[in-house]
Amino acid sequence: MKITSPAFKSNQEIPAEFTCDGQDLSPELNFWSVPDNAKSLVLIMDDPDAPGGNWDHWIAFNIDSKTNTLPRGVEQAGVAGKNSWGRTGYGGPCPPSGTHRYIFKLYALDKMLDLKEGASKSEIENAMQGHIIEKEELIGLYKRQ
């Protein structure tokens, strides 16, 4: 399984239009070779370099396993989880200082999660336990100018 973006390559800079310094749009994401036995996908974008610990920017679960593209600026896929701002949807990179890593994690699961919109990352991760078929990551970097 692979996750890629035409907006940036892995371990390269995320363009400003996808950050708080630009339009704060979600980048296009493409999913390749999702396992045939997957029942759903989970997408978690977080920043492990945030000063207060891991910061969740975007969480979506119960994404149709046949999905192969999330278009630019379209953040509603599946069911929205709650990010670290306490809301659902995409919140782009906005580091206070230095270069931060933004990790887009894609999980293929063998089931749909029995959770409601606004579920937290910890609730989603707990529900995924024992049901992850495959996981892939795309890492983008950003430093404010």
CATH number, position 50: 3.90.280.10
Helix, strand or coil for residue 32?
Answer: strand
Residue 102: which of 22, 23, 1, 26 has the closest Cα? 26
Task: Report H helices in the chain.
Answer: 121-128
Q: How many structural domains are present in the chain? A: 1
Print the domain residue range for 79. Answer: 2-142
C-alpha span between 106 and 90 (Å, rounded): 15
C-alpha span between 50 and 32 (Å, rounded): 29
pLDDT above 90: residue 145 = no
pLDDT above 80: residue 75 = no
pLDDT above 90: residue 141 = yes
pLDDT-derived band at 74, boundaries 50, 70, 90: confident
Total residues belonging to the chain:
145
Structural element, H or E, at residue 104 = strand 100-109
pTM of the model: 0.96
CA distances from 86 to 5, 41, 76, 117, 120 (A): 26, 22, 16, 12, 9
Structure confidence by residue, pLDDT tens digits, 85-139:
999 999 999 999 999 999 999 999 999 999 999 999 999 999 999 999 999 999 9
